[in-house]
A = this chain, B = another copy of it.
Amino acid sequence: MINQTIQTIMAHRSIRKFKDQALSAVQIETLVKSAQAAATSSYLQTYSIIGVTDLDKKKQLSEVGRNQTCIVENGHLFVFCADLYRHHFIGGLENADIKTSLESTETFMVSLIDTALAAENLVIAAESMDLGICYIGGLRNDARKVSEILGLPDRVIPLFGLCVGLPDEKPEQKPRLPWTHVYHENTYEPDREAYRDDLDEYNRLIANYYDKRTNGERSEGWTEQIAHALSHPHRTYMKDFLKEKGFPLK
């Protein structure tokens, strides 16, 4: 059952250091077509992908992403955008009143899900070609600036970047929650006794992972890390930004 594809999927880790070799035009085309092969809700195809090769633009994007080197130095940088501009354009073309749909929370959700499904297809395709990848959620630190750099029209918003290239490092994999903790049968059981025990056990695993990886400098568990991260709200401008760009989430 563990075929080559599943091996590829299971071997995923984020790669942040790439060899100095650009992806070929054929590789880029194959990757984008792989992205497009993903399922799309109601056939809407609500995304666009921007390939960034311009060095100045890459540097500007890197500033938004807190100077992660891999945003500049990679085989190719993709920026995945939720895109309803195309549909807005089609509304005009077909003389149809689609504004309510375009501005609904439901359609916003569809556009995020569609974009993410396409991105993950591109990731698996890249990894099957022995390329490495790193998602850059940090582009949402300043989505206004990213929109400006890439010339995104209204009803298009950047969701995340994706660095792809030949890996020049092989980091350890970060252990996931026990599979039985995220998988429930028939009913979600938030109060089962095992819930807390699962997290305790996972904390020990993660503490050990960090301890080994940092020679003892870090040794917090997962719940401590998560609580700390969520204590500092991020990107609180997002709702306003979305509204400005034509996503009022009605």
Contact = CB atoms under 8 A, between A and B. Distances in A.
A223 B8 contact: no
Interface in A112-161: 112-113, 115-117, 119-121, 123-125, 128-129, 133, 135, 137, 140, 150-153, 156, 159-160
A60 B81 CA distance: 35
B3 A96 contact: no
Interface string A93-108: 1101110111011110
A213 interface: no
B123 A89 contact: no
A116 B119 CA distance: 10
Given A3-B129, A112-B113, A227-B90, A51 B104 contact: no
Contact of A6 (B39, B125, B137, B230): B125
Contacts of A94: 223-224, 226-228
Give the contact-size bracket for chain A: 35 or more
Contact of A90 (B26, B48, B199, B238): B199
A245 interface: no
A174 interface: yes
A41 interface: yes
B57 A34 contact: no
26 contacts: A5-B8, A5-B124, A9-B37, A10-B33, A36-B182, A41-B137, A42-B137, A43-B174, A43-B225, A43-B226, A44-B226, A50-B185, A54-B186, A83-B182, A87-B230, A89-B195, A90-B199, A94-B228, A98-B230, A100-B236, A104-B233, A104-B238, A106-B235, A109-B112, A116-B120, A151-B188
